[in-house]
Amino acid sequence: MRLGLDLRGEPDADRRRSLAMEADRLGLWAVLVGRPGRPAVIEAAALATETEHVHLGVWLDGGTAHPTTLAEEVAILDHLSRRRALAVVDGTAAVVGHVERLLAGEIVDGVALTPPPAQTRVTVWAAADLEPVGLTGDLDRDRVTIDRLRDGGTTHAIVTWPGPLRVLARHLASRAAGPGFPDLVAEMADTVDQPGDA
Amino acid sequence: MRIGVGLWCLQSTATAPRSFTAAYRDLLDDARLAERVGIDSLWLSEHHRYYDGYCPALLPAASAALAVTERLRVGTGVLLLPLHRPERVSAAAAELTTRSGGRFELGMGMGYRPIEFDGKGLSMTDRVRRMTAGLDELAADRPAPLWVGVTSEAAARRAGRRGLGLFISGAFSREVVDSLIAAHRRAWIDGGRPGPGGDEGGRPPPVGLLRNLWLTDGDRERRRALDWVRSSYLVYAGLGWGADDTGVDFTAAIEASMDEVEASAVVGSAEHVADELGRYDDVDLVVCRIAYDQPPRTALVEVIERIGTELVPLVGDPIGAGAVTP
């Protein structure tokens, strides 16, 4: 299981930017941006120029634009980010499916997406199917949550996280990777960290 | 006079196939270069449903170009407003203004290809109504400097009476340019001289002019540049072929169109180009149309450098020196 960071609840744009850049450095799988009334793709396109590896998830309000418009914006983000776009669409099943099919290369109602995205197909989730996981910062509790999700078959989890991202990456993203994570390694790493390593 | 460069369309055409991802990477490189050599602004252009991937979503592309620069202005020349929901365009423009420290400019046009309206579940017959309603909404919000791309006096009047900048987007003769500017100015006066803040009696809204333009040394370079300009209109003709019901026979019009384009192109030394542009003393912004797929990339990079280092010192406002925006 891979962890992505939900930045939608962070109100400060500079803070979102620095968290996205840190998530990129720490190898987290994705960040997710977007709130009602704010066009997420604008922010994600800027983040694309400041990050190299992290996937850029955009939360899209399916009621505010034609599905083709949403898909076009995601396709451009996919090129700007060099294959790192993913989309979470808040809308009816028909709207989500419309966006997803266009971004998978299908011709929908006679319309082909031009340009197509850079990826073979862009991952599109329905917002209704995406339950962000609220991690607490209490590692004893969060380990249980991560194990439950991973062993329950979740492949990708979008999480909120209140503490330093380094702790999330070290203790929980590593644990999420597969069964049998040696906690001892993460705990020993904490003891040898120098001030300023974070 | 502000000197910008355009129009970045991010295509992969049958003439010059390439990776779209490379096109977007080049856009960011070109924006950095334009800024470094002192060019005022870089302008993007929108179409939908064409095989060559002509950029359908300008605002994310503008966001990335603004994110990699600090002084360069980035504009849409033009965003096809009737194909979008104005409140969403306004919110995105406001976001770009905030993020860039006011370096985003929103040029808006009407669109002319029925297929683009069909693709959004709209009818092109509705485009004037959607355009005017959208312009009213944007003119009320003023999320960024606003321009209206025009090819007719009716469109120039739509811009003028709302106090919006005039972006003359065709390869027009001086006479046509004059008539569009006059129509714009008259409508602004008749409309009560609306200013950017909704106030009355302000300065007239600015005039922007798209020009096919190239800096060259000698006749051979000049001929080569004119051939690029001519052949770039084949790409536009292709767009026209995809646009039935426009009432224009694009196939028959192509030769005349290329002749017209060549006649209005400004090609030569920086001094010659500066003299030509000097005749447009009622124009605040010239967007040099250089970015299309016929010139090799090395030639595009070279002309961006030359425009910045040779032309801007002759006719341009230094960046940040109180340039006129709408």
Which residues on B lie below 8 Å from A77 (Cβ)? Answer: 60
In this predicted structure, what is the pLDDT of residue B2? 96
The predicted complex's ipTM stands at: 0.96
- B13, B30, B95, B106: which to substitute to probe chain A, counting the most A Cβ within 10 Å? B95
For chain B, list residues with pLDDT below 70: 170, 197-201, 237-238, 240-251, 318-326
pLDDT exceeds cutoff 80 at A75: yes
Q: Domains plus CATH for chain B?
A: 2-315 (3.20.20.30)
- Which domains, ranges and CATH numbers included, belong to chain A? 2-138+155-162 (3.20.20.30)
Listed residue (A61, A58, A72, A46) closest to A4, CA to CA: A58
> For A11-25, A90-104, B172-186, B188-202, which range has the lowest pLDDT when averaged over its residues?
B188-202
Q: Would you call A37 an interface residue with chain B, using a CB distance cutoff of 8 Å?
A: yes
Residue A197 confidence (pLDDT) above 80: no
Number of alpha carbons in the 13 Å side-chain half-sphere of residue A72: 27
Contact call for residues B191 and B162 (beta carbons, < 8 A): yes
> A76: which chain B residues are within 8 Å (Cβ-Cβ)?
24, 55-57, 60-61
DSSP-assigned letters across all residues of A25-82: HHT-SEEEE-BTTB-HHHHHHHHHTT-SSSEEEEEEETTSS-HHHHHHHHHHHHHHTT
**Minimal Cα distance from B18: which residue of A?**
A115
* Cα Rg of chain B, angstroms: 18
Q: What's the average model confidence in pLDDT over A155-167?
A: 97
Please report the pLDDT score of residue B197 as a whole number.
61
**Which range, of A89-93, A194-198, B154-158, B261-265, averages the lowest pLDDT?**
A194-198
Report yes or no: B4 and B31 within 8 Å, Cβ to Cβ.
Answer: no
Question: Alpha-carbon distance A100 to A121, whole Å?
Answer: 8
Q: Chain B within 8 Å of A49 (Cβ-Cβ)? A: yes
Closest partner CB to B119 (pick from A65, A83, A111): A111
Out of A48, A75, A110, the one facing B64 most closely (by C-beta) is: A48
Specify which residues A31 forms β-bridges with: A5, A56
- Report d(CA B174, CA B195) in Å as an integer: 27
- The tokens for B190 are 């008749």
For B89, name the nearest residue in chain A, comparing CA atoms only. Answer: A39
Q: Which two tokens stand for residue A88?
A: 């979470």
Q: pTM score, two decimals?
A: 0.95
- Chain A partners within 8 Å of B68 (Cβ): 49
Strand partners, B247: none
**B50 to chain A, closest Cα gap in Å:** 6
Contacts of residue B24 in chain A, CB cutoff 8 Å?
A: 76, 79-80
Cβ neighbours, 10 Å, residue A145: 18
- Tell me the per-residue pLDDT of A168-177, one tens digit each, with 9 for 90 and over: 999 999 999 9
Q: Is B29 helix (H, G, I), strand (E, B) or coil?
A: helix
Based on C-alpha coordinates, what's the Rg of chain A?
18
Q: Which residues contact B236 (CB under 8 A, 6 or more apart)?
A: B257
Nearest chain A Cα to B55, which residue?
Answer: A115
- Is the pLDDT at A12 greater than 70, yes or no? yes
d(CA A158, CA A32): 8
pLDDT of residue B203: 84
- Report the pLDDT value the prediction gives residue A195, as an integer from 0 to 100: 65
Residues A103 and A87 sit within 8 Å (Cβ to Cβ)? yes
**B contacts of A87 (beta carbons < 8 Å):** none
Please report the number of interchain residue pairs, chain A to chain B, with beta-carbon separation below 8 angstroms: 102
